[in-house]
Amino acid sequence: MSSSSQHFSNPAYAIETRIVQAPKDPTGSVVPPIYLSASFNQPGYEVSGEYGYQRSNNPTRATAEAALANVEGAEFALTYATGMAATAAALEIVRPGQTVIFCDQVYGGTYVLAEQILARRGVTIVYADDLNEWTAADMPANLGAILIESPTNPGLRVLDIEHAASLAHGAGAYLFVDNTFCTAYLQRPLELGADAVIYSATKYLGGHSDVLAGVVLANDPALYDHFKLVQREMGNPLSPFDSYSLLRGLKTLAIRMDRAQENTVRIRAFLESHPAIATVYYPGWYSPREAQIHARQSSGDGAVLTFEVADDVDLAVFRENLRLINYAVSLGSVETLLSHPATMTHEDITDEERARTGISERMLRLSVGIEAADDIMGDLDTALQEAVKDVPALGNF
């Protein structure tokens, strides 16, 4: 097992402290060095050292994995080249003839992985319209795994992680939770019964739109062995430089999330009061029950809002008049990012499937950054005024 299984700091430390810490380098360097070597000299004939070939193990990657495991409170962490590689590694444990249940409004890349790779491999795919309402009697035979997001992307529905774990384990299956939107700073699925947590670390963990990375974390040694085998033999580990970039970005996770959430509270109120906005989605919007679930299992709402513009808003004109906000795919960065799920994150999903899961053409997803909230709201307001000429400026944010 790699050094990611070793807890190097006091687990009694607050998560804000654990986020900043990384394993101490033996040289005393405060910043962990980047080991770029593809190969490592071995100590002797038929004697293998801890590191031999970069695809199998790398000191910089091991440091990043140990830091991530420490933040999550997990025994093991393994990092991959992308978030989708991490998701694929987790689902590689499902065998042909088994079934995987996904939450209804799953990320578009996960949907494509399910429909075009898992299904072709003989895995049955089931989408749960509302897993919170499912019981043990609803579980299909030969279930291999349940994979959920909470909140979901992009509709921000909330799923009860403890309930999902009970359903999975009662059927002899695994529960995997994509925790990208919340991170361990707000929500810790392993403590709620999940078998593994998945991240696109490109998002909040890295936080600066400059690294592609994925992470899978677990407490079960057998799952670790599986995830490690996939990382090594399918050849998709995180590179040393990206491991360093992830470590550097991780250190500011708490203060970035705090600032982005503060902004999100104000921006949500602004959007809800704006005459050009039809609907605003946030964790708990769907029902009092989902709001209660979210309050129980998470310590914050995160910094993603989804909204639908009114019918008389010209989306093209709105986009053209954004000056501060980046119109770009992805989320979780220091910069505010606005995306159009129907043509960006979920463009490979059929029109029928998007309609069924509520992803409309007028839906936009806003990942709130750490800029001044007044400037973000001002940019949205100005662009909306241009898109609908008779919408008054709200001002005085």
> Final residue of a domain: which of 203, 224, 250?
250
Contact indicator for 161, 148 with CB cutoff of 8 Å: yes
**End residue of a domain, out of 250, 274, 308:** 250
pLDDT computed for residue 9 by the predictor: 66
Write the single-letter amino acid at 241. F
| 397 falls within a domain | no
250-276 residues labelled b (16+ CB within 10 A) or e (exposed): bbbbbebbebbbebbeebbebbeebeb
Clarify whether residues 166 and 273 are in a common domain: no
Residue bearing the bigger pLDDT, 50 or 393 = 50
One domain, residues 264 and 343: yes
Task: Choose the final residue of a domain: 205, 223, 250.
Answer: 250
Instruction: In whole angstroms, give the CA distance from residue 360 to residue 390.
Output: 24
Do residues 58 and 35 lie in contact, with contact meaning Cβ atoms separated by under 8 Å?
yes
pLDDT at 390 over 80: no
pLDDT at 2: 45
By annotation, the residues acting in catalysis are 55, 107, 178, 203
**What pLDDT is stored for residue 396 in this prediction?**
54
Q: What pLDDT, in 10s, does the model give residues 137-160?
A: 999 999 999 999 999 999 999 999
Residue 365, in any domain of the structure: yes
Is the Cα dihedral 104, 106, 108, 111 positive or negative?
A: negative
The three-class DSSP label of residue 122 is coil
Torsion of CA 333, 339, 344, 350, to 10 degrees: 130
Question: Does residue 89 sit within a domain?
Answer: yes
Asked if residue 359 and residue 219 are part of one domain, the reply reads no
Q: Which CATH number do you get for residue 203?
A: 3.40.640.10
The pLDDT of residue 4 is 41
Q: Are residues 245 and 258 in the same domain?
A: no
pLDDT confidence tier of residue 8, bands split at 50, 70 and 90: low
Rounded CA separation 320/313 (Å): 13
Residue 397 has pLDDT above 60, yes or no: no
**20 part of a folded domain:** yes
Q: What is the average pLDDT across 57-71? A: 96
Supply the range of the domain harboring residue 234.
3-250
